[in-house]
Amino acid sequence: MNDRRRWLLYGALVVGLAQLAWPPALHAVAAQRVVRLRNAFISAVKNRAAVEDDFRVDHVKPSINPVGSGGEDGDLHVSGRPGTLIALPMVAEVVNAKLEKDDVVQSLRDLEGTAQKVRITGVWRLWFEHPPADVLVQGGTVPRPDGTNPDHIFELHPIVTVDGHAADESFVPISGYTAYTAQKAFGAYEKLEFRVKHGASFTTVSSTKVGYNYTEFEAVLAGAPKHTNDATFVLADIVDEDGTSVVAKPRRLVIADDTKAAQAFHAKQPKKGTTLRVLGIPRVNLDKLMDEAENAAGDTVVVKGAYEIIVVGIE
């Protein structure tokens, strides 16, 4: 084989290998969903359960979700435009909405489409379940959503109060609901990688899409509960039905003050070693992410295990 033919074949081989490699690489980049959050906002909420902001209720789902499994979770979905604190496209959800249908739910229905600003409080939830393809940047004017489940990364879920009406019955296990098992849900959470870069005014966070909202599991407290701001936080080992741990290390539970979940938690006089049966939903652990990002001096770092569980109900 002459040199010219050898180099032609070599070149074709290199191009062919490159073409095989490029689509997965491009797909991996495209799969990342990105949000840029104000550092001041992160500092204000990272060790809180809930936030309060103005809210215009644009859409309320016509019916409460049925109760079964998966998305049949008994929630009521609401979309709208928050004020200057949140300043992101968002969804708010009433948990166990049938228990609140004559109070909080009715208030939301009365406000739908009125453009009236009301005060809403809810457990904040940053999670990459329904993220847009475009980069979200916190701040500015939030556009009016088209429906009850627009592309979003931020939620108030569960809602705590709306226009003075308290969702005081809703933080309990969802009767008749089959949640994801610890093995399935935490198996997905544990594989998540968050990319985070801390800048002068904003921190950029990205991840791939993930689901598995409601999970029911046994939590074995790994330390003493600690009350901070408006919540009790506690590290817990998460175990499956056989008592086998499904997490690499204990994960943080978030129990919002003045809820039935908090009442149930404190009634058990919890301490290290206490076992709880919990219904919860995941959110990004901004406290852990910021610890990693602030130590990296402006570099992008990859963090695993940067999630925590909002406690919706305790048996």
Q: How far apart are CA 308 and CA 254, in angstroms?
A: 7
pLDDT at residue 12 in the model: 39
Q: Which residues contact 197 (CB under 8 A, 6 or more apart)?
A: 203, 204, 293, 296, 298, 299, 300, 301
Q: Which residues contact 15 (CB under 8 A, 6 or more apart)?
A: none
Q: Which domains does the chain have, with CATH numbers?
A: 33-166 (2.40.50), 182-314 (2.40.50)
Q: Which residues contact 190 (CB under 8 A, 6 or more apart)?
A: 246, 247, 248, 304, 305
- Longest CA pairwise span in the chain (Å): 85
Q: Which residues contact 301 (CB under 8 A, 6 or more apart)?
A: 195, 196, 197, 292, 293
Sheet hosting strand 33-38, strand order edge to edge: 136-137, 33-38, 202-207, 193-198, 301-304
pLDDT at residue 27 in the model: 40
The one-digit pLDDT tens for each residue of the chain (315 residues) are 544 444 334 343 333 333 333 333 334 444 899 999 999 999 999 999 999 999 999 999 999 999 999 999 999 999 999 999 999 999 999 999 999 999 999 999 999 999 899 999 999 999 999 999 999 999 999 999 999 999 999 999 999 999 999 998 999 999 999 999 999 999 999 999 999 999 999 999 999 999 899 999 999 999 999 999 999 999 999 999 889 999 999 999 999 999 999 999 999 999 999 999 999 999 999 999 999 999 887 899 999 999 999 999 999
* Residue of 94, 121, 124, 123 lying closest to 109 (CA atoms): 94
Strand runs labelled E in the chain: 33-38, 50-60, 76-82, 90-94, 117-130, 136-137, 152-162, 165-166, 193-198, 202-207, 215-221, 226-228, 231-239, 251-256, 275-284, 301-304, 307-314
